[in-house]
Amino acid sequence: MSAARARRWGALAAAALAAGGLLTGCTRTIEGRAMPEGIGGGAGTEFTRLLTECDAVADDRIAEAVGADYVYRGFFGAICRWDGDGPAGVVKVTFNWFETGSLDHERAALDHLGYEVADTSVEGRRALQMRRPGDPLSCGVTSGASTTGIFGWWVQYGAGGPDPCEAAAELARLTLNLSS
């Protein structure tokens, strides 16, 4: 074999070893459960477009539901937050969604935290109403979404106001009934 050919073969062998090393050096094991592509998809109230889930109910409808003159948007992500003000004072509103969540899991977590949890329904769907112990100024409602997963609203008044559970339930109704 000529010296040039030996160098070429040597270079090819070195490149193959380097590529093999790169491939094995970049592998890793990811813990968890594999989910089918498109889970949570379909028609209706879908929470599949990053950050648009917070638009499930318009700001003016949120303000109306909680008895505020206005609400302004705060943090948006997997949990969306609004602050408002009105005749009853300051109100804080939170919306969350979990595309693969379940009401049974939520109930278990709430029970573990010591929340008061009651079964209810929203637009004919099974839902949970929750309160923190000793906090009559706040309440949340979590419901099954129209396709898969769950969503929830939490309303907290600063110094009294309308029934926070009714406000949270109204926001849940508005989320499921997007035609209104």
pLDDT in tens, 13-31: 665 555 555 455 555 566 6
* pLDDT in the model for residue 145: 84
Looking only at the bridges linking them, the beta strands covering 89-98 and 116-122 are: unpaired
The CA distance from 111 to 105, in Å, is: 10
**What number is the average pLDDT over the span 55-81?**
88
Mean pLDDT check: name the lowest of 35-44, 105-114, 154-163, 170-179: 35-44
pLDDT at position 17, please?
Answer: 57
What average pLDDT does the chain have?
Answer: 80
Residue 44: pLDDT band with limits 50, 70, 90: very low
How far, in Å, CA of 154 to CA of 95, rounded?
7
Q: For position 141, what pLDDT does the model report?
A: 97
Question: What does the pLDDT read at residue 78?
Answer: 72
pLDDT of residue 118: 96
